[in-house]
Every structure is written in C-alpha cells, then in structure tokens.
Amino acid sequence: MQIARRGFLFGAASLAAMPAARLAAAESSDIKLSVASYSFREFQRDLAIKYTKELGVKYIDIKEFHLPQNDSKKDLQAGRKKFDAAGLTVVGGGNISLKEEDVDGLRPHFEYAKICGFPMMICAPTRTNLKNVEKLAIEYNMQIAIHNHGPEDAKFFPTPQSVLELVKDMDPRMGLCIDIGHTARTGVDVVESIALAGPRLHEIHCKDLKDFKNKDSQVPCGDGIMPFPKIFAQLKKQGYTGVCSLEYEINGDDPMPGMQKSFSYMRGVIAGMNG
C-alpha cells in the first residue's frame, strides 16, 4: 500500500481539534495507540495518569518511575489501582533490565511484574540468560517483549533481527518490542523487520527522527522521515493485535505539545487508511 505521508495533514489537523473523548473513538480497532509512561519520566504518577487521559489514550505501558520496583507490595498494588480507576488499560511494564543470569536473580523482576498485574514485560535481557527468562515466562505466564536498543546496544540486541534469531524457536511468550526509531538507526528496514517478526511481535515503540543516522534528531511523529503509513499498513496486513506505544524521549520537562502533535499525526494516518 503506497500512501503519501503528507496526505494526512488535513485529517490530522481535524482530529487535533476533537475533544479527547472523541479522539480515542477515532482510532481503528486494527491499530491501537498507547503511551509508554517513560514519556512522563519527569512527572509523578498522578500527573502521568492525568496527561495520558488528556491525550485521549486508553492504553499504557508503565515505566518504573511510576511504579517503583523497590516499593512494597501494598504500595505497588495501590499504585496500580490508580491506573485502573482512571480507566486506563495497562498492557505491560518496562523497559525492565534483566541482567541477572540465573533464575533466582531474575525472579524478583517477575514477582514485581506479577504484583503490578503486568501481562507483559518489555525488557532488556542478555543474550546468555534467555533460557532462564523463558523458564520464568512460562512459570508466570508472562509475555516477554525484548526491546531492541539500536547501534549502542551492539553487544546485546541492536535490531529486531538480533532478537528474533534467538527467540524464534522458544515458547510463544518470548517475543519482541520493536522500537522503530532504534531500528531505523541500525540501517535495517523497519517495515521488513515488522513483517519478519510476525506473531513474535508483542509491542511497537513509536518515535520519529529527521535523520536515521542521528540519534539526537528525534522530533514529534510526523515531523521526521519515519514511514508511519507503511508501518501501520504492514501491522494491519499481518493482523497485529498489540499496541503502538509512543515513547517520547525528547522535551522531558514539557512533553505534552509534542505528544499531542504525535498522536494527532498517527490518528490522521489511521483515519486515512480507513478511508
């Protein structure tokens, strides 16, 4: 499907004018947009929830800033209830670093995820502890979405392909969180990577860049060169049922304008796909 990138600007502008409650309704059931709460890393939990609601988004990944792993079980459960009370659907937690090699060392992370009610851990394991991660994923019935981190993560998982080569024969719970920004910076094709992942694709982290060779060129979605129309079309083609989470890594002190612009653009793309 060839879709002109800038052909959605009118639709995006129209959607931007809608009340938040109508924004969520404008999304296709085929493409579900979400917030990675890392985007609100400079704000405490109640504000992260408030801002997510203002964006008209119902799905969220919770970063440890907003449910600290060293909190008590009681505090974690109380914190999780705040997301539920706000009407948000928690799709996962992370990114969670899984650097311990043995099962006993990894188990506290799974206990944390269980207490928080995460159905999925977006995580960063090593290449040598995956068998033990798999054992715990089965024991806890936890989806594992291994997050690729681009050229800087060459030792572990720079590309989706580097994840897929190790999990392709593992339990189906073992899969990928494809970060499209980090993926593009490695030089591999983002759309092709999504297609290769197939049913192993558990989550997408969205961001945009003006230059795929420059990590510091991140901009609001729609202002860069990321091929969102082709990405969303491929996700729809392969029947992807996960979420596309905006992980907004710039303007940490004032992320809302860029996040609003990003969601307006992505909703415009979705509206255009649906005719």
The answer to whether 83 and 60 have CB atoms below 8 angstroms apart is yes
Q: What is the pLDDT of residue 7?
A: 36
Q: What is the pLDDT of residue 24?
A: 47
- Output the tens digit of pLDDT for each of the chain's 275 residues: 333 333 334 344 444 444 444 444 444 458 999 999 999 999 999 999 999 999 999 999 999 999 999 999 999 999 999 999 999 999 999 999 999 999 999 999 999 999 999 999 999 999 999 999 999 999 999 999 999 999 999 999 999 999 999 999 999 999 999 999 999 999 999 999 999 999 999 999 999 999 999 999 999 999 999 999 999 999 999 999 999 999 999 999 999 999 999 999 999 999 998 76
Query: Which segments of the chain does DSSP mark as H helices, in order?
Result: 9-16, 20-26, 45-54, 73-85, 103-116, 130-140, 160-167, 180-185, 190-197, 228-237, 256-273
Closest CA to 219 of 186, 248, 246, 244: 248
Cα separation of 210 and 207, whole Å? Answer: 11
Show Cβ contacts of residue 18 under 8 Å, excluding neighbours closer than 6 positions: 26, 56
Ordered structural domains, the chain, with CATH = 5-265 (3.20.20.150)
The answer to whether 35 and 246 have CB atoms below 8 angstroms apart is yes
Q: What is the pLDDT of residue 275?
A: 67
Amino acid occupying residue 29: S
Enter the pTM of the model: 0.89
Cα separation of 254 and 35, whole Å? Answer: 15
